[in-house]
């Protein structure tokens, strides 16, 4: 079948000719992939496990393949609204309208603030400062929090950053900013570089895990453990999110890509 409309033809040509770059925002999945640890008495998800079935050998002369075991929330992954109690009547991952998996990305840089204070959480003031520079965040878009945390992915000590107080000290989003993005900007969801969408200390917030609480409660989405956000412009790239269609699933590992127009 040939491409019928001019728009898609132009898109395809631009990708083939590298006028549009396709940026991979996913971290590699392996047995070293960090996994979120919820405090007691929560059950925790296991990590990614790989088991080779055959590799052109006695169990399969012609065939290389593996089984893997992984939680829904392992590595770069998608949080479906049903993941949180506030969204218990909202969509599971197989019910998500796929139209919502494509949207403009707004990338808010909090790297300096997170460097000064690993517990730093995005504020409404940060969003307003971003908007005064780049324009108001539109509905049907993704907001990505560029904390720089993906740099620590190989070093679990730094990635979890557990303090002497036993808390993980990693950046996130304030309750007020979550409410603002949901109610005032009607975005699709928020994406982060850390192990989960909320700050490391967010279990101590009121309500606990505000990003989960407000976004998923409003039938919106989360993306965790993104990387390569430094390759995206602050506005104007297009995110494509492809979670697995797990029946009644609460989330899924995901290969997020961004389409970025080159100058």
Contact 161, 169 (CB under 8 A): yes
Pick the stretch among 75-83, 92-100, 119-127, 203-211 that binds Mn ion (CB under 5 A). Answer: 75-83
Of the two residues 73 and 213, which places its CB atom closer to Mn ion in the complex? 73
Q: Is 198 in the site for Mn ion (CB under 5 A)?
A: no
Count of residues in contact with Mn ion, rule CB under 5 A: 2
Contact 150, 183 (CB under 8 A): no
What is the length of the chain?
Answer: 263
Which residues face 82 on adjacent strands? none
Distance CA 5, CA 40 (A): 54
Looking at beta carbons, which residue is closest to Mn ion? Answer: 73
- The verdict on whether 140 is a catalytic residue reads no
- What is the residue whose two structure tokens read 């979120």? 36
User: Which of these is catalytic: 73, 77, 83, 212?
Assistant: 83
Distance CA 105, CA 145 (A): 10
Of the two residues 39 and 135, which places its CB atom closer to Mn ion in the complex? 39
Q: Is 73 in the site for Mn ion (CB under 5 A)?
A: yes
Pick the stretch among 48-56, 78-86, 126-134, 180-188 that binds Mn ion (CB under 5 A). Answer: 78-86
Contact 15, 260 (CB under 8 A): no
Of the two residues 75 and 103, which places its CB atom closer to Mn ion in the complex? 75
Give residues in contact with Mn ion (CB under 5 A).
Answer: 73, 79
Which residues are known catalytic residues? 83
């Amino acid at each position: 079948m040939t491409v019928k409309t001019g728009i898609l033809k132009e898109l395809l040509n631009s990708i083939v000719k590298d006028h549009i770059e396709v940026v991979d925002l996913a971290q590699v999945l392996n047995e070293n992939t960090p996994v979120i640890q919820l405090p007691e008495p929560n059950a925790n998800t296991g990590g990614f496990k790989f088991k080779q079935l055959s590799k052109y050998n006695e169990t399969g002369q012609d065939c290389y393949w593996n089984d893997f075991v992984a939680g829904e929330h392992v590595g770069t992954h998608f949080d479906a609204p049903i993941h949180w109690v506030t969204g218990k009547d909202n969509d599971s991952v197989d019910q998500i309208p796929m139209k919502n998996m494509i949207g403009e990305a707004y990338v808010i840089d909090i790297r300096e603030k997170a460097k000064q204070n690993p517990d730093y959480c995005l504020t409404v003031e940060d969003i307003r400062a971003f908007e005064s520079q780049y324009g108001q965040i539109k509905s049907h878009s993704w907001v990505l929090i560029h904390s720089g945390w993906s740099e620590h992915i190989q070093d679990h000590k730094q990635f979890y950053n557990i303090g002497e107080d036993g808390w993980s000290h990693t950046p996130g989003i304030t309750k007020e900013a979550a409410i603002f993005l949901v109610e005032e900007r009607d975005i699709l969801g928020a994406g982060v570089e850390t192990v989960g969408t909320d700050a490391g200390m967010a279990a101590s917030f009121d309500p606990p895990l505000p990003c989960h609480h407000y976004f998923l409660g409003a039938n919106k989405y989360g993306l965790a453990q993104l990387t390569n956000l430094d390759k995206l412009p602050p506005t104007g790239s297009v995110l494509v999110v492809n979670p697995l269609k797990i029946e009644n699933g609460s989330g899924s590992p995901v290969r997020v890509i961004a389409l970025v127009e080159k100058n």
